[in-house]
């Protein structure tokens, strides 16, 4: 089976712009979770989608949003980018729930200038 | 105080040494994950535990739910084990520790 894929792998944006990141889970996995990793805050949970529904959300402002499509692919959007949004964004998929083993994608490294 | 604490933050070892990384948490959990992150960012799930002990090759993970503590052991460490090891606990979401950076020298 192919692993979790994320596109793009690298992205440079300027403050105020918006960005959309994409995650394709392992075939058959219905849960997709998104995480932000920064040197200062480490790994933090953004949100989880299961069968097109947001099942859980972390403590991030409303500028961070996501969605999941019927084929389980997920997108994450960040609007009005701030310098502090520069981070590695990781998605992970699992079979039924985040309580199952999670399989991580390679991440998208976002730089906001 | 962080809900998930790892120790040590940094660890240096000689090839062949036995290594222990500790994780303590202060919240009620349904499961605990040990993750490995190599330079470049890729994360691999090593173990998911809800009780007892699991072993995979040279890696052993244990958890004590009553004491809210887990350990990751690496036997006969090797330079390819050099990575950041991250503990994460499952509440209604994953909460991550800050990681332990391990360097194993030949």
Which of B31, B43, B98 is the closest to A99 by Cβ?
A: B31
Contact yes or no for B41 and A106 at CB 8 A: yes
Please judge whether B42 and A107 are an interchain contact, meaning their C-beta atoms are less than 8 angstroms apart.
Answer: yes
- CB pair distance less than 8 Å for A58 and B93: yes
Q: Does A11 touch chain B (CB under 8 A)?
A: no
Size of interface A-B (CB pairs under 8 A): 47
- Mean pLDDT for B55-75 is 97
- Residue B41 region by backbone torsions, left for phi larger than 0, else alpha for psi between -120 and 50, else beta: left
User: pLDDT-based confidence at A98, cuts 50/70/90?
Assistant: low
Tell me: the pLDDT tens digits for A1-55? 689 999 999 999 999 999 999 999 999 999 999 999 998 889 999 999 999 999 9
- Predicted local distance difference test score (pLDDT) of residue A99: 66
More confident position, A56 or A77 = A77
CB A101 within 8 A of CB B43: no
Report the candidate in A35, A32, A8, A29 with the shortest Cα–Cα distance to residue A20: A8
Q: Cβ contact (<8 Å) for B93 and A35? A: no
> What's the average model confidence in pLDDT over B50-71?
96
Chain B, nearest residue to A92 by Cα? B43
């Amino acid at each position: 089976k192919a692993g979790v894929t994320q596109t793009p792998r690298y992205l440079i944006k300027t403050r105020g712009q918006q960005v959309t990141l994409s995650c394709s889970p392992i075939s058959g996995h219905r849960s997709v979770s998104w995480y932000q990793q920064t040197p200062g805050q480490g790994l933090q949970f953004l949100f989880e989608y299961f069968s097109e529904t947001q099942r859980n959300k972390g403590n991030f402002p409303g500028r961070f949003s996501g969605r999941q499509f019927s084929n389980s692919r997920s997108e994450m959007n960040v609007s009005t980018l701030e310098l502090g949004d520069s981070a590695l964004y990781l998605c992970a998929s699992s079979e039924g729930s985040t309580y199952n083993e999670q399989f991580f994608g390679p991440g998208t490294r976002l730089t906001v200038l | 105080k962080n809900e998930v604490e790892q120790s040590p933050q940094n660890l240096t070892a000689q090839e062949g040494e036995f290594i222990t990384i500790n994780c303590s948490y202060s919240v009620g959990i349904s499961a605990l994950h040990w993750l490995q992150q190599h330079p470049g960012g890729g994360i691999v799930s090593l173990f998911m535990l809800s009780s007892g002990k699991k072993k995979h090759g040279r890696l052993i993970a244990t958890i004590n739910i009553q004491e809210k503590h887990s350990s990751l052991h690496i036997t006969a460490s090797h330079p390819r084990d050099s990575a950041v090891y991250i503990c994460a606990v499952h509440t209604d979401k994953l909460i991550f520790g800050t990681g332990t950076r391990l360097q194993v020298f030949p």
